Structure 1
Amino acid sequence: MRVAAVATTLLLLLAACAQDTSSRPSPPEDLPVVRADGDRLVLDGRTWWPAGLNAYQLGTRWEVNHGCGAEVDLDDFFGTLAPRSIVRFDAFQSHAVHRIGGTLDFTALDAVFDAAERHRVYLIPVLAPQDSDCDAGGYKQADWYDAAWHDPLPGHVLAYDDWVATAVERWGSSPAVAMWELIGEPETATCTDDECTLERRECLPGGARLLRNWIDEAAGIVREHDPDRLVTVGTIGGDQCGSAGDDFATVTDAEQLDVVQYHDYDDAQFLERRLDGLSKPMLVAELGVRAGSCRAVSERADIVDRTLTRYRDLGADGALMWSFVPDPRPDECTYDIGPDDPVHYVLRRHHGSG
């Protein structure tokens, strides 16, 4: 009897971890679609200047996936944001793979979209990272952008192209999606050591054209399943392989790329140059300013206030702070933004106006 009971329990556990292929019901259209008009973002026919947050940890659910960082109470988080705020988060395939069964389980990511819809907040789901931080598969080298993205990486159930199709098909009906991000901080480098250390990566000729072609092909998959939403890519805007110097213009001129990104952790030293001649919206999708043991959070809020004003003067089209965490570390010098950080008020003040 005991053996039979154990067998039954195991069968139930396996069934609970079985691959979830069900589709989500279409929610009501209670948020207008974000659009691009030339070099500006538009909402409800008016210029829109989003000022929001990165919150990469939202898809972490320890009972479901391996996660990344601490769990976030989604209703508490989204409930503190003003309606039509904007949040960028990790919607990596690893967050949709059950940590025990190794099969697809959308529970954790479904919860993020559901909570955003309830609180009428926009999302930028990042569908993959360049490296393996918070995801499986390792650093993506130039050959991945050439052809290997059609094959599953170690630890993944689906190849990247199939993951994009699956994710966009599943959540494309959500009015909370502001735009889809194909990948965070892409770089067409080749590793020359086993650890793929930054100093040992090589930039080979043709990297910009390779990245541009990949963007158009990957974005085409998004268009098949969600033709009305914008597509972006997490370009840093510095001297990365494939987008350094004049290569940045080559990449950002990709036909299927709607919104260009810049990531600022160094006083926006390249931003003005990247904006020069750009005919698409530019979103500073990561603005990182340290606080904690090195700077009071009130001082950081003042810096962010001045920085967002400068972005607007330069011609950028919005900014997202890096990064919200539910458990900030005040005794360390970090980019952590906790629930009570005064920078939230700064973002509210800058958000939405043209």
Structure 2
Amino acid sequence: MIRIVITLIAIVVVAACTPPEPVQTSPSAPPTHVYGGRVATTPSGLVLDGKPWWPSGFNAYQLGTDWSSNLGCGAEVDLDRYFDQVPRGSLTRFNLFSSLATSRETGRLDFSRFDAVFAAATRHDRMVLPVLTGSNGACEDERYKDRSWYVDGWKRDEGPAGLTFERWMMIAVQRWGGERSLAGWEIVGEPEVGVCGAAGCDWRHRTCPAGAAAVLRTFFDTIGTELTAIDARHPIFAGTTGGDQCGIAGGDMLTVGASPHIDILDFHDYRDAEGVPPADSSLPARLAQAHELGKPLIVNELGIKAGSCLSLPARAASFRSRIDANRAAGAAGTLLWAFVPDPRPGECTYDIGFDDPAWAVVAEVVD
């Protein structure tokens, strides 16, 4: 009896001292990175509530607009109608900008609309991906974020409500980091570290300085450390366009994507309207790099113009074939650009309204 007790004690001690193994769905499945929230990642995909997740859905950047309280960006969205209509298991990417948390009357912070977005998503049990700022300044101060911003401007430059981006990030992550509907964080939408020219900051006038990838990598390492110190329960999306932008072109993506504070890589697909990126910056090349890094990649923007230039049913069919191709190639999800509550059918745009047949495509492919 004494020998049995001693043996049992030894087993318990060994078990307590043994580090936990990576979570696996089966003996042959790839290891799962569990953050503590609802979303986890594998080297090639996402997991939601412990089950494999292949999200589709919409970019709905206007969700934070409330012209009665904030500075707004586009038309207001009926939040309950939107989250009721978007299918279960979908993902919605939206702008969580400080400009939309600023009172149009007082210039002070007003969180009411963003609180309403998260509340509506939770009521309907839908997942959201907030983007904390954009690279081109649209719907914010209209100023392009150049190399200096990624060096230290994010800690120094004041924006809406007198906040630096660093301060806004901390406020946002502390306030909404516990939301059940939160899939993860995207720090900057489409980051790149170009330098503006004498004629302006349009892409035709910008230059790409040497060492751009190192600047972007240091930015993600530094700001990612700050973010995860507040919230380590949610993955961080790279937000990168994925083409040949300054700082991520070709092999530079490996430098940036290797940051320990980038969990999910991104690619934005507009090949029909904006051309095909160079081979070393194409979707197949980016998927190969994601595989090398052991991280999943999502096509977070897939845009095809319709309206006066293409019928909505024809675009829906194109969306379906492109999504199927992305999935077969290894993408971990695809979000369509972009839902708006007031589409312009008489113009050639990316608009996707409430009655667009693209909704049926999302419902069919989301998994």
SS at 1:310 equivalent:
helix
Match status 1:274 vs 2:286: yes
| Equivalent residue, structure 2, for 1:227 | 232
Give distance in 2, aligned partners of 1:156 and 1:39: 40
Structure 1 residue 194: Cα displacement: 5.5
Larger Rg: 2
| Equivalent residue, structure 2, for 1:300 | 315
Give distance in 2, aligned partners of 1:287 and 1:241: 21
Instruction: State the superposition RMSD in angstroms.
Output: 1.5
Structure 2 counterpart of 1:53, one-letter code: F
SS at 2:195 equivalent:
strand
Structure 1 counterpart of 2:175, one-letter code: R
Match status 1:323 vs 2:338: yes
Q: 1:120-149 deviations in whole A, cap 9, x for unaligned?
A: 110000000001110126111101111111
| Equivalent residue, structure 2, for 1:335 | 350
| Equivalent residue, structure 2, for 1:130 | 135
| Equivalent residue, structure 2, for 1:249 | 254
Range 149-158 or range 234-243, more displaced: 149-158
* Equivalences, count: 322
Contact 2:339 2:353 in 1 (8 A): yes
Give distance in 2, aligned partners of 1:308 and 1:137: 32
Task: Rate the CA distance shift 1:246–1:32 in 2: closer, same or farther, 3 A.
Answer: closer
Q: 1:160-203 deviations in whole A, cap 9, x for unaligned?
A: 11111100100001010101000000010111126312111110
Task: Rate the CA distance shift 1:341–1:280 in 2: closer, same or farther, 3 A.
Answer: same
Structure 1 residue 154: Cα displacement: 4.2
Q: 1:31-71 deviations in whole A, cap 9, x for unaligned?
A: 97111122211123332110110000000001111111000
SS at 1:287 equivalent:
strand
Give distance in 2, aligned partners of 1:263 and 1:303: 16
Contact 1:104 1:157 in 2 (8 A): no
Give distance in 2, aligned partners of 1:318 and 1:116: 19
Task: Rate the CA distance shift 1:209–1:287 in 2: closer, same or farther, 3 A.
Answer: same
SS at 1:199 equivalent:
coil
| Equivalent residue, structure 1, for 2:126 | 121
| Equivalent residue, structure 2, for 1:287 | 302
Contact 1:164 1:221 in 2 (8 A): no
Q: After the TM superposition, which segments of 4 or more aligned residues of structure 1 sit over 4 Å from their partners?
A: none
| Equivalent residue, structure 2, for 1:314 | 329
Task: Rate the CA distance shift 1:255–1:312 in 2: closer, same or farther, 3 A.
Answer: same
Unaligned stretches of 5+ residues in structure 2: 1-35
Q: 1:198-244 deviations in whole A, cap 9, x for unaligned?
A: 11111001110110111121122221222110101211111111111
Contact 2:199 2:205 in 1 (8 A): no
Contact 1:32 1:43 in 2 (8 A): no
| Equivalent residue, structure 1, for 2:78 | 73
Contact 1:137 1:154 in 2 (8 A): no
| Equivalent residue, structure 2, for 1:204 | 209
Q: How high is the sequence identity, in percent, across the aligned residues?
A: 43
TM-score with structure 1 setting the length: 0.88
SS at 2:140 equivalent:
coil
TM-score with structure 2 setting the length: 0.85
Contact 1:137 1:153 in 2 (8 A): no
Structure 1 residue 298: Cα displacement: 0.4
Contact 1:137 1:155 in 2 (8 A): no
Contact 1:208 1:247 in 2 (8 A): yes
Match status 1:351 vs 2:351: no
Structure 2 counterpart of 1:50, one-letter code: P
Of residues 164, 172, 176, the one that matches 2:177 is: 172
